[in-house]
Each structure stands twice: as structure tokens, then as C-alpha cells.
Structure 1
Amino acid sequence: MTYGETYGDSTRSLKAIAAEHVPGDPVGPVPVPAAAYHLGADEDDALDSYGRRHNPTWRQLESALATLEGAAAAVAFGSGMAAITSVLRAVTEPGSTLVVPADGYYQVRAYATEYLAPRGVTVVQATCAQMCEAARDADVVLAETPSNPGLDVVDLHRLAMQCRPRGALLLVDNTTATPLGQQPLALGADLVVASATKALSGHHDLLAGYVAGNRADVIERLQRERLLAGPILGAFEAWLVLRGLGTLGLRFERQCQNAAAVAMMLRSHPAVTAVRYPGLPDDPSHAIATRQMRRFGGIVSVELADADAVHDLVRRSALLVGATSFGGVHTSVDRRARWGDPVSPGFARISCGIEDTDDLLADIDSALAGAGR
């Protein structure tokens, strides 16, 4: 199934990981943790030869990811950063101009400036609002939408129309939205890159990433990059992502439901100075998000009085977990200034889990009653 057809999200997720119906075969995916394979006399005959080159569990996962993203193919990597750095190495060269998010994940900016710029790539940092203008002179554009952690939204159709006539390559980080919330390829992007560590696997127990798209030439370069550089995904981790995809529809639906309810409650809470969530009707990104997103995601960004107020929120809560990743089954809170993001000391990213909505609202409200006091 492709995006926009008749199946719902949970059915799409289950269909994506389904194996052929062969009597006697397992219903669920099975990991193949092999480093070496039996080779025949015909040296070109073996599909699998060495674990850094191929793996059957990778292929099943990549097929599922491509299906969910509406792509022709996908390439799995050992982490989200491995996916991003691999694709940036594959599509940039000395003399090219690369645009990266100034308000997105901070390690992407660090990689571009510390490793690509010294090798002759001109790196331009642009916020979501500046992305379309910055793309005018770029060869490669990497957009992150909604941005992490500020939750600003890039108009992907407009950005694609800026890139495509000039032949600029458009990559979109779809981690926060997930393929169930947004389909960048259908909006004109050339490639999707994402961390499967987050909502796709969903249990805070593995690292994984992928690139998906319809550009066969780039996919081939990525496969070659993975073979030579070695940023591979373990077979067991690939199996765990596949296992997680089976419940993605259910988990993401509850996470979005919880995020919308938390955002509505916090926008009028006296302990909160600001709330960002693309699903709020008065959010600055709501109009664009409504045009290009099916769901608004499970993340809410808030500003409290100071760092102590954020720490007290977690300390006084019975449900919130202090953690820096997002997309898991537990609601987590991360004070982003501790990592160097250009935000206020009291800025917190709340990644909503799958707790019952009423329980989560009551817990946060109770914890905020004494936060920072």
C-alpha cells in the first residue's frame, strides 16, 4: 500500500512487515544474525555473502520502511546520525553548497561544520522560516520538519518547488513526524532521512536510522557508502525495529492524542510561559502543518520559569521520565539547553508516551503545581 490509499495506519504498518503467506513459515519476522554465509562455486550467485554487505533482516526492514514512506527503496543504518552523515557524504562534494537546519538537531550542524566544511563544502545554516530563501543558491538542502526541538514547520511543497527546477537535491528529516504523520516524498522531496531510534522502534532500546527515496542513483551510492564505511545496523536491532513497526499505528495514535491534550492543558497553565505544538489552532506553524501533515506528532515544547522548574517537574511526577530521546512508550522530558540548543534554560521538550491521557494530564498538572518552588 502507498500513502493515501484505503488502509488505516495500523493496517499499513502490519502489511509493511508481513512476510509471504507460506504454510509452515513463522507469522512474524525472524532475525538472521549472520556474519558469514555459505558460498557456491558461482561467485556472482550468492545474494548474501558477508554481514557488512547484505542481511535478509535488513532487506525486510528496508522493504517495510520504503512502503511506509512511499519510496522505491530504503537503506538502513546503525543510527539516525549514521544515516544523515552517510547521505551527506554521498551527495556533497568540494565546491557544493549545503543548507542545514539552524533550528534542528544540533549534531547535524556540528557534523556539517566540523567535517564537511573543511573538505570544501559550503555550509549554510537556515531556520525553518529561512529555508526556502537559503535554497535559492544551494546544491543540497536538508530540511527538518517539524524542527527538533522548536517544532517549527517548513512548507515542503514550496521548498521542493524552489529546489527542483534548479536540480538541487532536497532531503527531509522526517523523524519527528514519522511516515504516519507526514510523507515528504509525496510533497516533492528527493529523499527522506530519519532516526528509527524514536517512534518507529518505540521502546528506547535500540539505535537505528534509514534513508528512503526514489533516486536509484543515490540509493546505490548509499549502499556503497554503507559497505565501505561500515555504519551498519545489527541484524537483531533490525528485527527489533520490524517488531516495533507492528504496533507503530497504535502507539503513534496514542502519542499524538496525548500530545494534543497536553498542549491544550499547558497553554493556559500559570506555570508555563510558552507552548509549541503544530496541532494547536493558534500555533505559528498550524496553517502549514495542516496542509502537509496527517497527524501533528507526539512532541510538545514548553517553556517554564527556569532550569529548576524543569527538573522539579520530573522530580515531582510519578509518570514522567527524564531522558534525551523521544518517541518511546514512556513520556519523557528533556531540558534542551543542557545540550547547547539556543533555547531558554527553562525550555523543555515533552515527548508523550502511551499512558492513559487522563492519567498523564493529572500527573503533569500535579507536578507543575510545585515546580520551581
Structure 2
Amino acid sequence: MPDTPKSYPLLQPGALLHKRGQSLDKGTAIAPPITTASMFHLPGQPDGSDFYGRATNPTWGETEALLSALEGAPALLFPSGMAAISAAFFATLRAGMRLLLPSDGYYATRRLAETFLAPLGVTIEERATANFGAGGFAGFDVVFVETPSNPGLDMIDLAAVAAEVRAAGGITIADNTTLTPLGQRPLDLGVDIVVSSDTKCMGGHSDLLAGHVASRDPALIAAMENWRMLSGSIPGAHTAWLLHRGLETLEVRFDRMCSTAGTIAARLADHPALTRLRYPGLPQDPAHNLAKAQCAQFGFLIGLTLSDEETAEAFINTCPLIRPATSFGGIHTSAERRARWGDAVDPGFVRLSIGVEPVEELWDAVSAGL
């Protein structure tokens, strides 16, 4: 088991934007180059230099430097969020082990475990996010958490769960996609591995698929890096470059999206068209006290429930400033009725992902749509 993680400094404002620029030589491009090589010049014995495109890539390295600065920990880039989750699972689980998952988290995580881990002899159990700690964590080798849950926006006390899992001899993996390290820092709260779908807010422009893992335990990082190299689960150089570009503006995009979401959610609180509203930033939300203690920002996702499927679809498909789309976290406000994918939510439930539009114009469009 890894030792209790040491403290890492918080990222200073503007650090992502200027991370690469602090070490440039005269005449070096400010934007990183896109290196598409599969082979590298390698005379003599290997010495840690780039040698083969399945193992390392200079453009990955530039992007991983930003991710590491953001997480305060070594980070590895993957071609999708699910590839990152797969690396975390296959680096920590083997036959005879027990895995605990949230029953109301991202459905693909559960499908991955059921389809590929269970046949290999991993025992899988599930619990609802709102009562995740009930029953304790004794006997679980890996505990996977997602907070806020996607799409319901329930929350887990990361510090308490991580401490209890560690005391029971297990490893905690946290999916931090919905809040990013700017909104919530699971590694600082004792979690062993963070995974993220950088397809969403980290990239931010709905034009790439990427993910990453981060950990302060060298053995875990080494195992996941070995998995990446041997499985071939590697990102493309152009994707890495796009993510690097997106990360440089993450701070300002995330702040704008969270601020606007807070304003919109507060105005929706008493709207007669809604039968239920979830946003952890609202004082009346069931997750508010935990979110206030655990998070630096309350996020850009709002869960709203309308009277029925037809009303929800009409709202999503006719509002001029909402893009009907699956996924979330882009610069454009988007929405989706998650029941269409089989999530255990009300047929009228809408996951609303707030973008970077001016708040008053967006509110006018949303309120008119409702």
C-alpha cells in the first residue's frame, strides 16, 4: 500500500498559461511543436531519450507537464477518459480482488468492469453515491469514486472515504472529470489515483478525445505507464497539442462557466417549470455542505427535472443557446436528457452544461426555453 501522500503546493494563478514559456530558449516557438515521429535517433545504448512512439513523445511530454502542474503530481496522458480509467483498473486489479463502484456514476465505467473485469475474476459491487460509505470498505482492494456523480450530482466525502479505504488496505481511485483540479483536488484529500476525461472541460472545445491519470505514488504511476506502453493505449501527437492549447485557457474558462452556472442555478431555484433542481452551489442542495467544505468551485453542471420527456426534449431542442449533445464541458452550453442512455434518472431529467456565453444572454435564452 502507498504511504499517506505528502502535501503539494497549489497551482498559482496563471501558471498553466506560462508553464512552457518559463523554460524557452531564444527563438523557440511559444506553442509546442507537434511531433509525429514513430522512431527517434538512438545510437548506442538506450539512456532515457525518446526512442519509440508507443513509449514516449515530446508533445505528450509538454502536455503532461501542464497536467502534472495542475494536479500537483506526476500525470500520464491517454487517448480518452475511458482509456485512463482502464489503465487505473488494470494496474491495480487482478483475479480474486474486489472492486467497489458507484451505482449512479458514469455508466461506461460500470460497463467496462462488468464486461471485462468480472470475466477475469474480479468481484464487482456497487453503492449509490449518496450512501457510499454505508457498510464500510473492509475487504475491497480498489474503491472507485466519482464526485459529483454524473449525472445526478450527489457527492462523496473524499477525505473520509480515502482514509477509511487506506486503513482497510485498499486503493482509492477518483474520477474528477466534472470539477477538474481547479474545482476539487482529490490527491490532496488522500486519494491514490485521479482519473479524468479531458475530452470535456480540460480540453474545452469539443474537438478532441483525451484523458489522464495522476498519482503521487511512484509504483502506481509506473504500473499505469507500463500498461499504456504495452497495451498501446496512447494519444496522438495532434490530440496532445490540442489539449495543451485548451489547458492554457482552462483557468479563465472554468471560472466563467462556474460563475455563470451559479447565477443560472440560483434563478432556476423557484422556476415553476422545474419539478427538481440539483446544483451543489445552492444552499438548499443536499450536497451543498460537503461541496462547500471540499471544493474550490461548485462546477458548471446543473441537473434540472422537467415534467416529462416531451417537455425536456422540447426545451433542449428549441433553446437557441443550447446545443443538444452528449458529453459536456465545452465552451458552448449543451444539454442532454440522460434517460435516453439508460441512466437511472427521471425521464424529464436534463443535464445542463454551462458554457462561456454571457450570463444575461444565456439566462434570457434558458428562461424563454422553459
Do the two structures share a fold, i.e. TM-score over 0.5? yes
User: Paired residue for 2:292?
Assistant: 290
Distance 1:327 1:97, change over 3 A: same
Q: Which amino acid aligns with 1:86?
A: A
Q: How does 1:95-244 map to 2 (within 5 A)?
A: 95-132=96-133, 133-244=135-246
- 1:30 offset after TM fit, Å? 2.1
Provide the rounded CA distance (Å) in 2 between the counterparts of 1:19 and 1:37: 26
User: Paired residue for 1:311?
Assistant: 313
Structure 1 contact 314–320 (Cα < 8 Å) conserved? yes
Stretch moving more, 237-246 or 21-30: 21-30
- 1:46 offset after TM fit, Å? 5.7
Equivalent of 1:279 in 268, 278, 281: 281
Structure 1 contact 70–183 (Cα < 8 Å) conserved? no
Structure 2 contact 316–336 (Cα < 8 Å) conserved? no
Q: Deviations over 1:82-136 (max 9, x none)?
A: 1001210110011111111111100101111111111111111112233223523
Stretch moving more, 308-317 or 107-116: 308-317
Provide the rounded CA distance (Å) in 1 between the counterparts of 2:221 and 2:193: 9
Q: What TM-score comes out, normalization by structure 2 length?
A: 0.95
- 1:16 offset after TM fit, Å? 3.9
Provide the rounded CA distance (Å) in 2 between the counterparts of 1:334 and 1:30: 36
Q: Which amino acid aligns with 1:249?
A: E
Does structure 1 residue 34 correspond to structure 2 residue 34? no
Structure 2 contact 137–168 (Cα < 8 Å) conserved? no
| Structure 2 residue ranges without an equivalent (≥5) | 1-6
- 1:316 offset after TM fit, Å? 2.3
- 1:167 offset after TM fit, Å? 2.3
Q: What TM-score comes out, normalization by structure 1 length?
A: 0.94
Provide the rounded CA distance (Å) in 2 between the counterparts of 1:108 and 1:18: 37
User: Paired residue for 2:81?
Assistant: 80
Q: Deviations over 1:338-361 (max 9, x none)?
A: 111001111110000000000010
Distance 1:246 1:98, change over 3 A: same
Provide the rounded CA distance (Å) in 1 between the counterparts of 2:69 and 2:60: 14
Provide the rounded CA distance (Å) in 1 between the counterparts of 2:21 and 2:116: 40
Distance 1:17 1:169, change over 3 A: farther
Distance 1:230 1:332, change over 3 A: same
Structure 1 contact 52–230 (Cα < 8 Å) conserved? yes
Q: Deviations over 1:315-338 (max 9, x none)?
A: 321110001111100000011001
Structure 1 contact 324–334 (Cα < 8 Å) conserved? yes
Structure 1 runs of 4+ with >6 Å offset: none
The residue matched to 2:327 in structure 1 has which SS? Answer: coil
- 1:36 offset after TM fit, Å? 1.6
Q: Deviations over 1:189-234 (max 9, x none)?
A: 0111000000010000000001001111111111111111111110
Distance 1:160 1:261, change over 3 A: same
Provide the rounded CA distance (Å) in 2 between the counterparts of 1:92 and 1:286: 34
Q: Deviations over 1:229-288 (max 9, x none)?
A: 111110110011000011101100111011111211222111111110110011100111
Q: Which amino acid aligns with 1:62?
A: E
Provide the rounded CA distance (Å) in 1 between the counterparts of 2:230 and 2:252: 37
- 1:34 offset after TM fit, Å? 1.5
Equivalent of 2:72 in 59, 62, 70: 70
Structure 1 contact 39–46 (Cα < 8 Å) conserved? no
Q: Which amino acid aligns with 1:320?
A: I
Identity %: 44
- 1:2 offset after TM fit, Å? 5.3
Distance 1:177 1:139, change over 3 A: same
Provide the rounded CA distance (Å) in 2 between the counterparts of 1:241 and 1:215: 25
